[in-house]
Structure 1
């Protein structure tokens, strides 16, 4: 059945109007933004840990010295001492070392020395020493200045007095350390070179 021409025009007009309404509705819609993500920032500060290790020790030494007279009451001497050093304390850096010290002492300027402590694995601790002299009862102070192996980056201080054992015979110098005490901090583990079971390559 064929519709009259006026009826077709009215039907076409209604279709165009409906399509226009749909297009306007679609263009008017706005996209809903995604919900904001909330990030929780922790305000808890890291807990500081004190890695300071205190220790005491005993050190029996044997060595030699060479003395030069510089006039009435004035002397200069070079000396070297070595012996077994045993440390005590729950936080000691190691139980024992073979310790070696060399130094120069002058009655006017005092004593300056250097020391190396070597443990059972061959790792070393280096220190500088200073004091009034190497005479009995005189205070000697040490400062750790580095090391090798597990002692890389070590820092700290120690002090002691030296007591002579027996009379001096020739250039021989025998004694022991009295009142050795101090503290140390080991360096960061990342600073230590890795080793394998067969030793460093």
Structure 2
């Protein structure tokens, strides 16, 4: 049987170039073109402070905790969260949150809601991310199902829990 050595060599080089090009264009771990719904629970702990300078009150909080998904994002079910919130009234609180997976990928959320109380609905948007979540967009909503408060060093210590975390996302 006759094998065209020159043709095989050119094919092999072209094939290797194609593979190298693909690996350079598509980042490892990318989840391109994915859209799905999410659901899960969120447990957060932190501090809330109210600063009063008549006639203005400033509500500020800092929460961190664990997001445990039953329907995850890009295959991930566990995230560590960090949220910072602020508002000038209990009816208008805004927060920015960072969710990070164990591999270092991160998701950024913007949330709006009322004061930190049981039964209060919080809604927001997923506005970006890094790593395999680059370009992610979507929505998220939940209701605080349990909140407990205590005092420590002049600050209100709080623990919040929700079991109805849900939403949807798209990774381009």
- Do both proteins adopt the same fold according to a TM-score greater than 0.5, normalized to the shorter chain? yes
The CA distance in 2 between the partners of 1:125 and 1:167, in whole Å, is 28
Tell me which of the two structures has the higher relative contact order, counting C-alpha pairs closer than 8 angstroms and 6 or more residues apart. Answer: 2
Q: Establish whether residue 104 from structure 1 lines up as the match of residue 95 from structure 2.
A: no
Report which of the two structures shows the higher radius of gyration computed on alpha carbons: 1
1:55 CA drift (Å): 1.3
CA distance in 2, matches of 1:107, 1:97: 30
Match of 2:39 among 48, 53, 56: 56
- Residues 11-30 of structure 1, C-alpha deviation per residue, up to 9 Å, x if partnerless? xxxxxxxxxxxxxxxxxxxx
Check whether the contact 1:85–1:97 (CA below 8 A) recurs between aligned residues.
yes
Residues in 2 aligned to 1:182 and 1:57: alpha-carbon distance in whole angstroms: 10
SS of aligned partner of 1:147:
strand
Counterpart Cα distance in 2 of 1:135 and 1:75: 18
Q: CA RMSD in A?
A: 2.3
Asked if structure 2 preserves the Cα contact closer than 8 Å seen for 1:164 and 1:173, the reply is no
Confirm or deny: 8 A CA contact 2:40 2:165 kept in the other structure. Answer: yes
Q: Which one is further off, 92-101 or 111-120?
A: 92-101
Render the CA deviation track for 1:24-50: whole Å, top value 9, x for unaligned.
xxxxxxxxxxxxxxxxxxxxxxxxxx8
SS of the residue corresponding to residue 144 of structure 2 reads: strand
The gaps in structure 1 that reach 5 residues or longer are: 1-49, 188-201
SS in 1 for 2:151: coil
Distance 2:110 2:136 in 1: 13
Q: Who is 1:66 aligned against? A: 49
Paired residue for 2:116, among 124, 131, 134?
Answer: 134
SS in 2 for 1:133: coil
How far residue 162 of structure 1 moved from its aligned partner, in angstroms, is 2.1
* Structure 1 equivalent of residue 29 of structure 2: none
Q: Does 1:174 align with 2:163?
A: no
Counting matched residue pairs gives: 136
Corresponding position of 1:87: 69
Residue segments in structure 2 that go unaligned for 5+ positions in a row: 1-32
Name the CA shift for 1:133/1:99 in 2 (closer, same or farther; >3 Å).
Answer: same
Deviations 1:102-144 (A, max 9, x none): 0013326501110000001111001111112322211111201
For 2:117 and 2:54, the matched residues in 1 are separated by 19
